[in-house]
């Protein structure tokens, strides 16, 4: 039985998504404990049944395995949901190895993500992190080419500053900007959110519950496993 979850349109793009999105990273990456495949698939499909239509993954989650999981779980619903994924890193021996947003890399990642996600076009393709070695105009141009080829529907940026957003948007309309935003991460309010409002770009907060801290289940004595990425974040030290 589907729940009536509110919808949002991301900026002026016409891309409609559920107000509550499902961040898929933690299924099998970054937070220490991973769900097994059957649990993950059941969870993702239960989210769809409850009205969630917006799912977020990335090439580097796993790497690769998170996209594959999302692709398998959501294949029966691929015409009903919006799947966002991300490019922008080198992956060497199964680990992130620096930034890489060259146009050739972007196009290579798009082909791989299409296969992993089992879709004909990527709904929303984010640059995962700004690459200082590649002009943002070249990044936007590469995604513009992919949109022209019908392989990508919408272009997004993650953790980009106001000037970078403007420069990218001048080449290819940016549908959404994804950044960390919560009660304890307010910086986007300074320059980024006003810029998005001016340009008609949607804002997608990640870690809106402070990576778990704002759920009321953590305190100074909470033990964080060594394979949980929060163990290396200053906010989670005693």
Q: At 107, which CATH number?
A: 3.20.20.100
Round to whole Å and give the CA distance between 143 and 166.
16
Instruction: Give the pairing of strands 89-92 and 82-87.
Output: unpaired
* pLDDT given for residue 32 in this prediction: 67
The two counts, helices (H) then strands (E), for the chain are: 6, 11
* pLDDT given for residue 1 in this prediction: 56
* pLDDT given for residue 2 in this prediction: 65
With respect to residue 22, please indicate whether it lies within any of the assigned structural domains. yes
Round to whole Å and give the CA distance between 6 and 174.
23
* pLDDT given for residue 98 in this prediction: 96
Cβ(117)–Cβ(85) under 8 Å? yes
* pLDDT given for residue 167 in this prediction: 98
* pLDDT given for residue 13 in this prediction: 97
With respect to residue 7, please indicate whether it lies within any of the assigned structural domains. no
User: What global pTM score does this model have?
Assistant: 0.94
Structural domain harbouring 50: 13-232
Structure-token match 């809106």, residue found? 208
Which residue out of 31, 61, 64, 206 is catalytically annotated?
Answer: 61
DSSP run (H or E) holding 166: helix 162-171
CA nearest neighbour of 179 among 130, 123, 110 = 130
**Which residues 6+ apart lie within 8 Å of 164 measured at CB?**
130, 136, 157
Cβ(47)–Cβ(21) under 8 Å? no
With respect to residue 1, please indicate whether it lies within any of the assigned structural domains. no
Q: Mark whether 61 is an active-site residue.
A: yes
Long-range contacts, 71-77 (Cβ 8 Å, 24+): 71/116, 71/117, 71/118, 71/119, 72/41, 72/118, 73/40, 73/41, 73/44, 73/45, 74/44, 74/45, 74/48, 74/117, 75/118, 76/45, 77/45, 77/48
CA nearest neighbour of 101 among 87, 86, 85 = 87
Q: Give the DSSP letter string of 177-190.
A: EEEE-BTTB-GGGT
With respect to residue 103, please indicate whether it lies within any of the assigned structural domains. yes
For residue 180, what are the β-bridge partners?
Answer: 206
Cβ(156)–Cβ(201) under 8 Å? no
With respect to residue 225, please indicate whether it lies within any of the assigned structural domains. yes
With respect to residue 4, please indicate whether it lies within any of the assigned structural domains. no
Cβ(213)–Cβ(235) under 8 Å? yes
- pLDDT in tens for each of the 238 residues of the chain? 567 799 999 999 999 999 999 999 989 876 767 789 999 999 999 999 999 999 999 999 989 999 999 999 999 999 999 999 999 999 999 888 999 999 999 999 999 999 999 999 999 999 999 999 999 999 999 999 999 999 999 999 999 999 999 999 999 999 999 999 999 999 999 999 999 999 999 999 999 999 889 999 988 888 888 888 788 888 888 7
With respect to residue 238, please indicate whether it lies within any of the assigned structural domains. no
- The total number of structural domains in the chain stands at 1
For residue 177, what are the β-bridge partners?
Answer: 157, 203
* pLDDT given for residue 182 in this prediction: 97
With respect to residue 237, please indicate whether it lies within any of the assigned structural domains. no
């Amino acid at each position: 039985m589907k729940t009536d979850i509110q919808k949002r349109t991301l900026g002026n793009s016409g891309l409609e998504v559920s107000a509550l999105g499902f961040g898929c990273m933690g299924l099998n990456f970054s937070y220490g404990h991973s769900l097994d495949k059957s649990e993950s698939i059941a969870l993702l499909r239960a989210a769809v049944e409850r009205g969630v239509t917006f799912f977020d993954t990335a090439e580097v989650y796993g790497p690769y395995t998170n996209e594959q999981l999302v692709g398998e779980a959501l294949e029966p619903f691929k015409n009903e949901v919006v799947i966002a994924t991300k490019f922008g890193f080198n992956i060497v021996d199964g680990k992130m190895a620096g930034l890489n947003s060259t146009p050739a890399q972007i196009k290579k990642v798009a082909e791989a993500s299409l296969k992993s996600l089992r879709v004909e076009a990527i709904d929303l393709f984010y640059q995962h992190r700004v690459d200082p070695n590649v002009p943002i105009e070249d990044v936007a141009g590469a995604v513009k080419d992919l949109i022209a080829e019908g392989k990508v529907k919408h272009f997004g940026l993650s953790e980009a500053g106001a000037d970078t957003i403007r420069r990218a948007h001048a080449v290819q309309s940016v549908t959404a900007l994804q950044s960390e935003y919560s009660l304890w991460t307010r910086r986007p309010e300074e320059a980024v959110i006003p810029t998005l409002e001016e340009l008609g770009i949607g804002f997608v907060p990640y870690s809106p519950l402070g990576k778990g801290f704002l759920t009321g289940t953590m305190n100074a004595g909470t033990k964080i496993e060594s394979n949980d990425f929060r163990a290396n974040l200053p906010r989670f030290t005693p």
